[in-house]
Amino acid sequence: MSTFVYDFAEGNKDQKDLLGGKGANLAEMTNLGLPVPPGFTITTEACRAYLAAEESRDHATPGDGGAHGALPDGLAEEITEHLERLEETMGKKLGQADDPLLVSVRSGAAASMPGMMETVLNVGLNDESVQGLARQSDSERFAWDSYRRLLSMFGRTVLGIDGDLFEEALEQRKEKAGVEADLELGAEDLQGLVRGYQEIIEEHSGRPFPQDPREQLDLAVLAVFGSWNTERAILYRRQERIPADLGTAVNICSMVFGNLGDDSGTGVAFTRDPASGAQGIYGDYLQNAQGEDVVAGIRNTVPLADLEGIDKTSYDELLGIMQRLEEHYLDLCDIEFTIERGKLWMLQTRIGKRTPGAAFRIAGQLVDQGLIDLDEALHRVTGAQLAQLMFPQFDPAADRELLTKGMNASPGAAVGKAVFDSETAVEWAGKGEKVILVRRETTPDDLHGMVAATGVLTSRGGKTSHAAVVARGMGRTCVCGADALDVDVRAGHFSAPDGVVIEEGDEISIDGTTGEVFRGSVPVMDSAVVRWFEGEADSDEDDLVAAVARLMEHADGVRRLGVRANADNPADASRSRRFGAQGIGLCRTEHMFLGERRELVEHLILARSDEERDEALAALLPHQRDDFTGILEAMDGLPVTIRLLDPPLHEFLPGLTELSMKVAVADATGRPSKRDARLLTAVKRMHEENPMLGLRGVRLGIVIPGLFTMQARAILEAAAARKQAGGDPRPEIMIPLVAAVQELELVKTDIIEVAREVEQETGVDLEFKVGTMIELPRAAMTADEIAEAAEFFSFGTNDLTQMTWGFSRDDVEAAFFSQYLEKGIFGVSPFESLDQAGVGALVQQAVERGRATRPDLHLGVCGEHGGDPDSIHFFERAGLDYVSCSPFRVPVARLEAGRAVADRGASGD
Ligand code: ADP
Ligand code: MG
Ligand code: MG
């Protein structure tokens, strides 16, 4: 049988999964010899056992937070055993009438879920022991204050009674006593309040408040177990992607009292500023207070530094402990403490949350202090934090009027005129206005509005709502779930809590990184980190930039994965090079067929003879060659992977409806255009039910003679020209959508032929590679055959995801992804982060098979997953040679590639 209960002295900080974060750290502090009130921890395993029994007992009513059922087998006995030991240590019994031992019953899961689950203080008080407490402490007021706190916490948390009832009773009592603050209530007022609370409990739970201390304890433990499954906890876990089945531990901790008078109090402290990372004394302190009073904002706290003047001995001791904790945890710690009549007690510590900027600064400081090395420092920051530092930001010095704060669903800083429907968004954006689409929530019908808007603001829904999922997918700034806003779409306005009303056309600013919503237009500035990447600022101008630069350098030094960029034009190519790209992993050529060149594509499609087709291709050739020359020049000396034309040709033609109308109107007005009529026939002929699965990629190259050879010629002529100009071009020709080696062989033979011609014509020796994308399951499965003809593979994980799941991103993301996320079918969109079990398995398969045929096969990935942190760690493990992503994500990929290597070292695989 497993052990369900551990004494604080029996655990340590690495046992978070079993003891929860709070329990593990209480154990660690106990073993460091710090003043922690004695206690014990009931494991998460016990919680899981309880929840499993709950579920099989009652399928119909999922947990509502109240306590049902019973403790798992054996738990009650173990609690008894540990409780007796605790009573021995403390020299008093739980709830003992003349001198009661009181305990807190505290939730604490492995992952931090701030404010999500419950804690009950002062367990063990009843109508008798409250008298004992009063005598022992020599304070009637204190005893009744503690009791009323127990009653309200127990009533709310354990018995599921609406907390407002207790709040109202407190307010009434204050009014009656003619006082403002709870502190001014005397012992008698508080005693009256206790009676009132007991009535509320009896009325709303149908039974009197349990007087038996042990029954209080057991019920509180069950309630903490049950609080794992409150609606808000479930919601929070879904948003933070915390697994639903971990359960919470429960800590039973002997009470210490900050509410014993002015020589007592409670506070929170940080060993460094979590906002900036600066070292100093950060925290808040509140005299004569207990538990959550500090953060509840019921009275004004004083800055922690003021504690020096209030209680110098405790202050000095606290500072000493803070330093010890930092040196022990080697990181920013946050701390809860209480002072009871001049004696300091530590109630909690954990590695503190911090802003992205603070994360980089602190990592650097810890290295400077010799506390950690640079490898470890890489683990203290994430690519996601770096990405946040790279978004444009609202100028911190600028004036702003905060309207409200919602959820930070998709990062960035967006300013625009508020519009309340998609039609207006599209219309105004079409006139060059910047708009922010404001909705209660979005639906698939809002897609065109979201595309047109610079930002999206909703008053409902969380981070997996439609608005959030779609905005992230398209890189739009989004704040969602700003539920303090009253959005009236019909009337075309919304109102904020202070009565401010924003009408259609009024400017607002939204910060997708913080969730803040501002009135008016707040000036936006480029991030300092980006200016440094761009070479516009020195790294020593700013301590944040210096910290980032140092870790980037280290990541580059340790990483094995190369990082390339997806870039289609010289400007993007140059930028990605400044951002540290080591080549181009994907240069798409379809953009080169748009604009004025669309007409040339029409000629190609409408060609009625080989001559006409050749003419059309010949007209495209010089344009393509110029494009490639520019890109090869920008990336001189670095590999440039150019993908031959991928999308179906009809994408370059006018839409069927539009063209039909045009032809019909022309016919009706007696001015028919022959060309349009022919075009219409072509559009009809080329129409596909499923274009994604139709005539595209290598299939085009095979079906339209001369198309791929024209593109290959343009690439190779550009390379020859660059060489003649003294450059070092390194083109890699990539064939898309190959499913069978035969396809690749056909196209490759033609390309080699063209290369020979170009070499003869120019007298230049050409070096280039021919390879393929792996983006179809069949290609992955037959990678051994395909590697016979391919010198490199580049995994097109966007298409590979679509083809593996059998859904088209453009269609499904807006249509049902938010429901899939809500229902937990996947925790994150497979387009955001690689589906490692499915798509990842195909990648691994292809790597193995491809390398079996050709050991020096060069392997990369060019889907957007190449810039996603989790996916990059997977690609490192899969043994790819490089990842490629959009220029802006190149630094993130460099950092994560470095972290991925350090990971491998740490886990030993
Ligand atoms: P949370 O996880 O929400 O911080 P805690 O379990 O830490 O909840 O407890 C809530 C509050 O009660 C905190 O301020 C904590 O410091 C205080 N508290 C918890 N246990 C005790 C105790 N044994 N004595 C005094 N205060 C306590
Ligand atoms: Mg706490
Ligand atoms: Mg593709």
Q: Is residue 451 a part of any domain in this protein?
A: yes
Residues 426, 313 share a domain: no
Angle of CA points 38, 42, 45, to nearest 5°: 155
Last residue of a domain, one of 211, 226, 242: 211
Task: Give the atom of ligand 1 at the shortest distance from the alpha carbon of 119.
Answer: 6
- Ligand 1 within 6 A of CB of 292: yes
pLDDT given at position 511: 95
pLDDT given at position 62: 45
CA–centroid distance, residue 204 to ligand 1 (Å):
26
Tell me the pLDDT band of 457, cut-offs 50, 70 and 90: very high
Last residue of a domain, one of 473, 508, 525: 525
pLDDT in tens, 83-101: 999 999 999 999 999 999 9
Residues 38, 51 share a domain: yes
- Ligand 1 within 6 A of CB of 336: yes
Residues 634, 781 share a domain: yes
Task: Report the DSSP pairing between strands 562-566 and 882-885.
Answer: parallel
Instruction: Return the DSSP state at 645.
Output: P
pLDDT in tens, 470-525: 888 777 899 999 999 999 999 999 999 989 999 999 999 999 988 999 999 999 99
Phi, psi dihedrals of residue 178, rounded to the nearest 5°: 70, 35
pLDDT in tens, 584-600: 999 999 888 888 888 88
Candidate from 233-237, 335-339, 540-544, 665-669 with smallest mean pLDDT: 233-237
CA–centroid distance, residue 145 to ligand 1 (Å):
16
CA–centroid distance, residue 847 to ligand 3 (Å):
18
CA–centroid distance, residue 355 to ligand 2 (Å):
20
In this structure, the residue with its CA closest to atom 18 of ligand 1 is 291
pLDDT for residue 670 is more than 90: no
In this structure, the residue with its CA closest to atom 13 of ligand 1 is 291
Classify residue 830 by burial, with Cβ atoms within 10 Å: 0-12, 13-18, 19+.
buried
- Total tally of structural domains belonging to the chain: 5
Q: Is residue 50 a part of any domain in this protein?
A: yes
Domain with 321, as residue range(s), is 257-354
Residues 217, 207 share a domain: no
Q: Is residue 606 a part of any domain in this protein?
A: no
Grouping H, G, I as helix, E, B as strand and the rest as coil, residue 782 is coil
CATH number of the domain to which 207 belongs = 1.20.80.30
Q: Is residue 40 a part of any domain in this protein?
A: yes
Across 103-111, average pLDDT: 94
pLDDT given at position 634: 94
Q: Find the catalytic residue in 82, 466, 554, 873.
A: 466
Residues 879, 804 share a domain: yes
Location of structure tokens 């600066």: 278
Task: Report the DSSP pairing between strands 435-439 and 455-458.
Answer: parallel
Task: Give the atom of ligand 1 at the shortest distance from the alpha carbon of 292.
Answer: 14
Helix axes 570-578, 610-634, angle to 10 degrees: 30
Last residue of a domain, one of 508, 525, 542: 525
CATH number of the domain to which 56 belongs = 3.30.1490.20
- Ligand 1 within 6 A of CB of 37: yes
Task: Give the atom of ligand 1 at the shortest distance from the alpha carbon of 115.
Answer: 3
Residues 167, 44 share a domain: no
- If residue 486 lies in a helix (H) or strand (E), which one and from where to where? strand 486-488
Q: Is 253 a catalytic residue?
A: no
Indicate the residue type of 301. T
Residues 158, 110 share a domain: no
Residues 119, 66 share a domain: yes
Tell me the pLDDT band of 575, cut-offs 50, 70 and 90: very high
pLDDT for residue 907 is more than 50: no
The mean pLDDT value of the chain amounts to: 92
| Cβ neighbours of residue 111 closer than 8 Å, sequence gap 6 or more | 21, 240, 242, 246
Q: Find the catalytic residue in 478, 587, 862, 885.
A: 862
Q: Is residue 635 a part of any domain in this protein?
A: yes
Classify residue 798 by burial, with Cβ atoms within 10 Å: 0-12, 13-18, 19+.
middle
Residues 833, 749 share a domain: yes
pLDDT in tens, 780-822: 999 999 999 999 999 999 999 999 999 998 888 888 888 888 7
Q: Is residue 474 a part of any domain in this protein?
A: yes
Residues 513, 409 share a domain: yes
pLDDT in tens, 727-783: 999 999 999 999 999 999 999 999 999 999 999 999 999 999 999 999 999 999 999
Indicate the residue type of 414. A
pLDDT for residue 47 is more than 80: yes
Backbone Cα Rg of the chain: 33
Region of residue 530 (left: phi > 0; alpha: psi -120 to 50; beta: else): alpha
CA–centroid distance, residue 116 to ligand 1 (Å):
13
Q: Give percent above pLDDT 90 in the chain.
A: 74
Q: Tokens in use for 483?
A: 């539920």
- If residue 585 lies in a helix (H) or strand (E), which one and from where to where? strand 584-587
Which residue of 29, 106, 295 sits with most ligand 1 atoms within 8 Å of its CB, as the best mutation to test the pocket?
106
Q: Tokens in use for 871?
A: 């996916």
Residues 634, 728 share a domain: yes
| Cβ neighbours of residue 175 closer than 8 Å, sequence gap 6 or more | none
CATH number of the domain to which 293 belongs = 3.30.470.20
Helix axes 869-878, 890-907, angle to 10 degrees: 50
CA–centroid distance, residue 572 to ligand 1 (Å):
53
| Cβ neighbours of residue 667 closer than 8 Å, sequence gap 6 or more | none
CATH number of the domain to which 471 belongs = 3.50.30.10
Q: Is residue 673 a part of any domain in this protein?
A: no
Alpha-carbon gap, residue 284 to 272, rounded angstroms: 13
CATH number of the domain to which 746 belongs = 3.20.20.60
Tell me the pLDDT band of 68, cut-offs 50, 70 and 90: low
Q: Is residue 603 a part of any domain in this protein?
A: no
Phi, psi dihedrals of residue 265, rounded to the nearest 5°: 175, 180
Indicate the residue type of 277. G
- Ligand 1 within 6 A of CB of 255: yes
Residues 197, 54 share a domain: no
Query: Which ligand has the shortest distance to the CA of 295?
Result: 1
Q: Is 591 a catalytic residue?
A: no
- Ligand 1 within 6 A of CB of 121: yes
pLDDT in tens, 156-199: 999 999 999 999 999 999 999 999 888 889 999 999 999 999 99
Tell me the pLDDT band of 64, cut-offs 50, 70 and 90: very low
pLDDT given at position 297: 64
In this structure, the residue with its CA closest to atom 12 of ligand 1 is 291
pLDDT given at position 181: 84
- Ligand 1 within 6 A of CB of 253: yes
Which residue of 102, 121, 253 sits with most ligand 1 atoms within 8 Å of its CB, as the best mutation to test the pocket?
121
* DSSP H helices in 35-186: 44-57, 75-90, 129-137, 140-153, 163-177
Phi, psi dihedrals of residue 405, rounded to the nearest 5°: -130, 130
pLDDT in tens, 407-417: 888 889 999 99
Query: Which ligand has the shortest distance to the CA of 267?
Result: 1
Alpha-carbon gap, residue 37 to 517, rounded angstroms: 43
